[in-house]
Structure 1
Amino acid sequence: MSQFTYRPARDELAYTFGGRIPVAHVRSGDVFTVHTEDCFGGLVRGPADLPSQVCQMPYLNPVSGPFFVEDAEPGDTLAVHILSIEPTRDWGVSATFPYFGALTSTSHTATLQQPLDERVWVYDIDRTAGMVRYQATASDHTVDLPLDPMIGTIGVAPGAMESRSTIVPDYYGGNLDTPELRAGSTLYLGVNVHGALLALGDGHARQGQGEAIGVAVEIATSTTLAIEVIKGIDAAWPRLETETSIMSVGCARPLEDAYRMAHRDLTAWTVDLCGLQILDAYQLISQAGRAPIGNVCDPNYTVLAAIDKALLPQPRPAYRDAHARLRGLSHTVAAGGSR
């Protein structure tokens, strides 16, 4: 097991999955720390920094990487366990954009209503207290919310020599924007190209389900990962595992197609792990499952289908028990002191 830290310079940030030269090589069992920028590249720092004025398309939602994973080949699955996500600043930002978000017209849903005002909210982050402070811009109302760091964008290179914007979520991962991508979770991604080419960024101090406004509490992070290549097992869509749950991810428009994709995959995964007959699995998920929404603003929408492991009949370990092994690596790293 090797350990290292990667801190990109500004001109090393990536804005696509695929089409980039690797920044480092890693192997199964490696644990490494990646510094990531926020979705604005650190350029929005206060109320006067309107994103339309200080940011430029397509240079939004940068990721750090990609990392070439030795021995990862198409047809394999890359397991990525998130050991920790630490904000690297004591503030985060959110914003409204004209023609962006769930409650406004867009270029695809065209109406005669006026665009939303562009506005920036700055959140104070207290890492010691584990709190994020909301401050209204038009009154003195404040609310302290729990700090719940997550990675909004993480994925591997798509197949067929494609290069895809980091704003898009799809079968290779990308801008999934689900709060379930927090410390302690293992993400399973199907490998599409030699070396997988893993990249990540777009940290959030917290985010509500659906990310209705289109922007979370955006932060720069120091994120520590442990990885493993599972040979000869493919994952058609991203999957997540925690100590208590398994989850499948669907990304599509319209929203109901993302819902269907996630639930079809979770049903198939449940059949595979537990040996239930398919309609029995479908019935159990229908009555006991959950469907947390990732985002409803990006080029594709993200929906998860989740079920508690405790409700499944003696499930066999997923992906040869990769989650438990990688979680064990996190304990090894913690016992070894600072990285």
Structure 2
Amino acid sequence: MIKHTFTPTQYFSTLGERPPVLTVADGDTIVTKTLDAAGFDENRNRLATGGNPMTGPFYVEGAEPGDVLAVRLDRLRPNRRYGWTGTQLAPNVMDPADVLLLTPMASFAESRGEWDVDSEAGTAVLTSPKNKLGRLPIPIRPMVGCFGVAPGGGQAISTATSSTNGGNMDYKGFVEGVTVFFPVAVPGALFFLGDGHAVQGCGEICGTGIEISFDVEFTLSVVKGKTIQWPRAETATHILAAGNARPLDQALQHATSEMARWLQEDYALSVTEAHTLMGQCVEYEIANVFDPAYTVVCKMDKALLARVLSL
């Protein structure tokens, strides 16, 4: 297994079947960089246009349609001090009467918040606009907002949204140490990632996290003999399934069904057993309610599932 250091020279705002920028073996690790959501690098030079420009795609030898690509997020670190956010809630998360109270803005730049991100201290401080929140350091928790594999059928899916292949899910739980699983639809999987956030609340309800460029390290592995329909992940404490769709209830349905299938496949539960256990022990998170496709995460506690395996 090899660790590759890759310096990107081009970026993409769609996930699709593009020529790979690097071919790696099953189990290899890649060290590289990502731009922020507006295309700016660690020196605040704009290297790409379009929203959420991605680094990649990376071709993984041995990955074939019907397999699963496991992506272990080994290291996610902001590589500059400057970050930016929206400062107004998205209209779709508010009561209609309160939407009328929003301050009209001629451009997003007028409503942008600017932040000093100190990775060593582990905090972010609002520097603009000037208000009392500038005296409140926010703990950072670096996460990847947009990543995934090429979809099938010759599709090229915008990095503004998400689907079965992953994409712009903006889930605050995709942090260092997490392994995320994607269904492979094309040879080599063709993995992309970008859109780093120093921190983000549930739902990305103002349209951004603290947007920033990243130094990243991740490991790509192929899982044979396993087929999934929606992205899955494993953290230190939970397994989770992500459903991406709009309206919100459809995203929840995808995530719930994917979790029910997982419990039957890997934990030897019958349909009734899986549904009964989920009915009393499932956890949900609203990951994103800003993008064209919303994301809902369905979670189960690993300590509880370890007991299930002993039954």
Q: Same fold (TM over 0.5)?
A: yes
Aligned partner of 2:225: which letter?
A: G
Residues 1:99 and 1:212: Cα distance change in structure 2 (over 3 Å): closer
Aligned partner of 2:237: which letter?
A: T
Confirm whether residue 20 of structure 1 aligns to residue 18 of structure 2. yes
Aligned partner of 2:229: which letter?
A: A
Instruction: Give the C-alpha shift of residue 165 in structure 1.
Output: 0.7
Please tell me the root mean square deviation across aligned C-alpha atoms, in Å.
Answer: 2.7
In structure 2, what is the equivalent of residue 275 of structure 1?
268
Q: CA–CA distance in 1 between the matches of 2:201 and 2:47? A: 24
Of 150, 162, 169, which aligns to 1:169? 162
Q: Give structure 1 stretches of 5+ with no counterpart.
A: 47-53, 106-110, 317-339
Q: CA–CA distance in 2 between the matches of 1:242 and 1:221? A: 21
Of 54, 79, 84, which aligns to 2:75? 84
Instruction: Give the C-alpha shift of residue 113 in structure 1.
Output: 8.3
Say which is worse superposed, 112-121 or 292-301, in terms of deviation: 112-121
Residues 183-238 of structure 1, C-alpha deviations (whole Å, 9 max, x = no match)? 01000001000111000000000000001011110010011001110113111100
Aligned partner of 1:69: which letter?
A: V
Confirm whether residue 131 of structure 1 aligns to residue 123 of structure 2. yes
TM-score under structure 1 normalisation? 0.82
Q: CA–CA distance in 2 between the matches of 1:133 and 1:96? A: 14
Contact 2:85 2:208 (C-alpha < 8 Å) held by counterparts: yes
Q: CA–CA distance in 1 between the matches of 2:47 and 2:85? A: 14
Q: CA–CA distance in 2 between the matches of 1:205 and 1:99? A: 20
Contact 2:89 2:207 (C-alpha < 8 Å) held by counterparts: no
Residues 75-105 of structure 1, C-alpha deviations (whole Å, 9 max, x = no match)? 1000000011011101211125898763498
Q: How many residues align?
A: 301
Instruction: Give the C-alpha shift of residue 277 in structure 1.
Output: 2.7
Q: CA–CA distance in 1 between the matches of 2:287 and 2:177? A: 18
Say which is worse superposed, 14-23 or 267-276, in terms of deviation: 267-276
Instruction: Give the C-alpha shift of residue 257 in structure 1.
Output: 0.9
Q: CA–CA distance in 2 between the matches of 1:6 and 1:104? A: 46
Residues 116-155 of structure 1, C-alpha deviations (whole Å, 9 max, x = no match)? 4231111111111111123562523332111100000110
TM-score under structure 2 normalisation? 0.89
Q: CA–CA distance in 1 between the matches of 2:288 and 2:133? A: 26
Q: Give structure 2 stretches of 5+ with no counterpart.
A: none
In structure 2, what is the equivalent of residue 207 of structure 1?
200
Residues 1:301 and 1:224: Cα distance change in structure 2 (over 3 Å): same
In structure 2, what is the equivalent of residue 292 of structure 1?
285
Contact 2:67 2:223 (C-alpha < 8 Å) held by counterparts: yes
Contact 2:288 2:294 (C-alpha < 8 Å) held by counterparts: yes
In structure 2, what is the equivalent of residue 8 of structure 1?
8
Residues 220-273 of structure 1, C-alpha deviations (whole Å, 9 max, x = no match)? 001100111011311110000012110001001100111111111112211222
Q: CA–CA distance in 2 between the matches of 1:181 and 1:238? A: 12
Contact 1:39 1:62 (C-alpha < 8 Å) held by counterparts: yes
In structure 1, what is the equivalent of residue 112 of structure 2?
120
